[in-house]
A and B are shown apart, each in its own frame.
Chain A
Amino acid sequence: ETGVTQTPRHLVMGMTNKKSLKCEQHLGHNAMYWYKQSAKKPLELMFVYNFKEQTENNSVPSRFSPECPNSSHLFLHLHTLQPEDSALYLCASSIKDNSYEQYFGPGTRLTVT
């Protein structure tokens, strides 16, 4: 595997379910990010991790819970989501946390029913 991978690529979940999104980067980077991309809206930065430490949380609802066990892996735990949370969730990584030369994964298309 090369670059940034995300699993699953597609996810359909009910509002009462609990699921997790996984991201793995094979680039030796130290910073990882979660973004939300909705139709007709700009990318929204959700979380930033630098050397496994969370350095940014852009007022994201608590039903989204990130986890970064090491510099190569990032998770987004989901619970009691709302239909408006349906979107493409993108993971990215960069050499350091203040660099926007970021490498993105293909995203997870999430549908909340």
Chain B
Amino acid sequence: EDQVTQSPEALRLQEGESSSLNCSYTVSGLRGLFWYRQDPGKGPEFLFTLYSAGEEKEKERLKATLTKKESFLHITAPKPEDSATYLCAVLSGGYQKVTFGTGTKLQVIP
């Protein structure tokens, strides 16, 4: 059975304090790994898709990387507006088989 584990469950950072969120996965035949951001009371917002080990994507203060076992979402010099829950999901094996993690709730304090 495919599994996606995100850590930590919650993370509190001072503004400007860089850190990383982890998404480890066990799947049969990874076809893609996705990062989303979700603000309270809203639906998830798509951030990145990664398809193969070694791939990296960047957007503003966020950088996503992928290995054969895990993905990291690096946040450089975060700002309070980066506070949100970050979700990881994998598409694997058969058609339409998607598995989400439970998310990391990030709080950035001014």
The residues of A with any CB-CB pair to B shorter than 8 Å are 4, 40-45, 48, 55-56, 90-92, 97-98, 100-107
Contact = CB atoms under 8 A, between A and B. Distances in A.
Given A42-B99, A107-B42, 15 more contacts: A42-B102, A42-B103, A43-B89, A43-B100, A45-B96, A55-B95, A55-B96, A56-B95, A90-B44, A92-B43, A100-B34, A100-B49, A100-B98, A101-B46, A101-B49
Interface in B86-110: 87, 89, 91, 95-96, 98-103
B51 to A, nearest CB: 11
20 contacts: A42-B4, A42-B103, A44-B100, A45-B96, A48-B96, A55-B95, A55-B96, A56-B95, A91-B43, A98-B96, A100-B32, A100-B49, A100-B89, A101-B49, A104-B42, A104-B44, A105-B43, A106-B41, A106-B42, A107-B43
Contact of B102 (A41, A92, A105): A41
Indicate the member of B32, B41, B46, B99 with the most A CB atoms within 10 Å.
Answer: B46
A42 B96 contact: no
Contacts, number: 50
Nearest to A58: B96
Nearest to B6: A42
Given A56-B96, A100-B49, A100-B89, A42 B101 contact: yes
Nearest to B34: A100
